[in-house]
Amino acid sequence: MQRYLLRRILLAMVTLLAVSLIIFVMSRAAGDPRHVYLDDYSTQEDWDRLTATLGLDKPYYQQYGIFLGSALRGDFGQSIKEGRPSMEVIVERIPATLQLGLAAFAFSVIVGVPLGILSAVKRGSFLDMAGKVVALVGQSAPVFWLGLMLVFLFAVRWNDWFGDSLVPPYGRQEISSIILPAVTLGWFYAAANLRLLRSAMLNVLDSEYVKLARAKGVSNNIVIWKHSLRNALIPVLTFAGITLGSLVTGSLVVETVFAWPGLGQLAIQALAGNDYPLLQAVVIVFTLMYVAAALSVDIMYAYIDPRIRYS
């Protein structure tokens, strides 16, 4: 167990290091990094000061050291567009992104898990068919398009029925604003959960230990919800660990589509405004969030599967 966790934590740290290295290399590969911050109107003094802060007169490995040092302090330099420290801009945006991520996660669990279980238990039923459609659309439709289609349907086509306030298509002014973005972002995950859980449940329900549990006189409901679900969740969690990345990717897209003022939207704004200092900070923070989420999935995994806990 300890070895398992240690390995995971180590991997998380190496991942962060790798991302920082990529960002550093790219900032140098793009040309003189000073051009990013300074323009023709800057004085020689400005140039010299920046040279010293970035350590441009030193060898590359020392420059990386300086970069890493300030990154650890949360200092990623000034955002060009905003004219204030990148970290400051980011901190304001974190709550919105977390809120959306959690809502999407909740949606994917609320839809994906029961539908996955039921379509395994009642194989071939109407519910199973419906689940199949949800899963196929979720895995094939691009997230950005799905979002736009939902906006089109709810805000344009069916506007007469829903009105503007029930499911507002843009911004984050009202509580109900989160519905459309969360559904869009959660759909892919719901589909993946559904598919995985269905096939895992089918395997488990067919297993000898479920047969034995039934032979003990355990009722059908307890067989499904206690004996089977816990085993079936193992592959689902593995998947969650591997593809949490798509939640990050998705939030970039969904926040852009729905004008949701979070980190994802910020990243795209930084891209559009050539704001490298801001983008690098967003990327680091995103990776940090992602790595932390993956790590907590690993811990949960160990909790559910005793074979990992005790080895």
Partner 1 sequence: MTTSTTENTAPVVLEVDGLKTYFETRWGTVKAVDGVSFNLRRGETLGIVGESGSGKSVTMLSLMRLIPEPPGRIVDGQILLEGQDLVQMNDKEMSEIRGSQIALIIQDPMTSLNPVFSIGNQVGEAIKIHQDIPKRTVVQQVLNVLRKVNIPAAETRVRDYPHQMSGGMRQRVVGAIGISCEPIVLIADEPTTSLDVTIQAQYLKLLKELQEASNIGLIFITHDFGIVAKMCDRVAVMYAGRIVEMGDVRDIFNHPSHPYTEALLASVPKLEEDVDRLYSIEGQPPTLHDLPTGCPFAPRCQYVMDKCLETYPLQFDVTDSHYAACWRLE
Partner 2 sequence: MAADATLVVQQPAVPARIARKLWQFRRWPLIPMFFLVLFVFTGIFAPLIAPHDPERGGLRDRNLPPAWEEGGSSEFLLGTDHLGRDMLSRVIFGARISLAVAGVTLGVGMVIGVASGLIAGWYGGWLDEFLMRIVDIKLAIPTILLALVLVLALGQSFLIIVAILAIAVWPRFARNVRGEVLQLKTMDFVALAKVAGASTPRILFIHIFPGVINTLIVLATLEVGIVILLESTLSFLGAGVPPPTPAWGSMVSDGRDRLAVAWWISTMPGLAIMLVVLSMNLFGDWLRDRLDPRLRQLN
Binding footprint of partner 1 on the chain (CB under 8 A): 207-220, 227, 230-231, 304-307, 310
Quick check: 267 binds partner 2 (CB under 8 A)? yes
Please identify which residue in 42, 53, 207, 274 interacts with partner 2, judged by CB under 8 A. Answer: 274
* Site map (CB under 8 A) of partner 2, residues 116-155, x = contact: --------------------xx-xxxxxxx--xx-xx--x
Positions in 5-24 near partner 2 (CB under 8 A): 11-12, 14-15, 18-19, 22-23
- Concatenating the DSSP letter of every residue in the chain gives -HHHHHHHHHHHHHHHHHHHHHHHHHHHHTS-THHHH--TT--HHHHHHHHHHHTTTS-HHHHHHHHHHHHHTT---B-TTTSSBHHHHHHHHHHHHHHHHHHHHHHHHHHHHHHHHHHHHTTTSHHHHHHHHHHHHHHHS-HHHHHHHHHIIIIIITHHHHHHHHS--SSSSSGGGGHHHHHHHHHHHHHHHHHHHHHHHHHHHTSHHHHHHHHTT--HHHIIIIIIHHHHHHHHHHHHHHHHHHHHHHHHHHHHHTT--SHHHHHHHHHHTT-HHHHHHHHHHHHHHHHHHHHHHHHHHHHH-HHHHT-
Partner from partner 2, partner 1, none contacting 230, C-beta within 5 to 8 A by type: partner 1
Minimum distance, C-beta of residue 221 to partner 1, in the bound complex (Å): 10
Q: Confirm or reject binding of residue 290 to partner 2 (CB under 8 A).
A: yes
- Per partner kind, with CB cut-offs from 5 to 8 A, the member of partner 2, partner 1, none near residue 291 is partner 2
Residue 233 sits in the site that holds partner 2 (CB under 8 A): no
* Interface with partner 2, residue 269, by CB under 8 A: no
* Least distance to partner 1, CB of residue 241, Å: 18
13 makes contact, choosing from partner 2, partner 1, none, with CB < 5 to 8 Å by partner type, with: none
**Which residues ranging from 21 to 80 are in contact with partner 2 (CB under 8 A)?**
22-23, 26-27, 29-30
Q: What is the dihedral of CA 285, 290, 293, 295, to 10 degrees?
A: -100
Question: In this structure, is the dihedral angle defined by the CA atoms of residues 288, 291, 296 and 299, taken in order, positive or negative?
Answer: negative
Least distance CB 133 / partner 2 (angstroms):
11
Would you say 241 and 298 are in contact if contact means Cβ atoms under 8 Å apart?
yes
**Does position 104 bind partner 2 by CB under 8 A?**
no
220 contact, one of partner 1, partner 2, none, CB 5-8 Å limit per kind? partner 1
Binding residues for partner 2, per CB under 8 A? Answer: 11-12, 14-15, 18-19, 22-23, 26-27, 29-30, 136-137, 139-145, 148-149, 151-152, 155-156, 199, 235, 242, 245-246, 248-249, 252-253, 256-257, 267-268, 270-272, 274, 276, 279-280, 283, 286-287, 290-291, 294
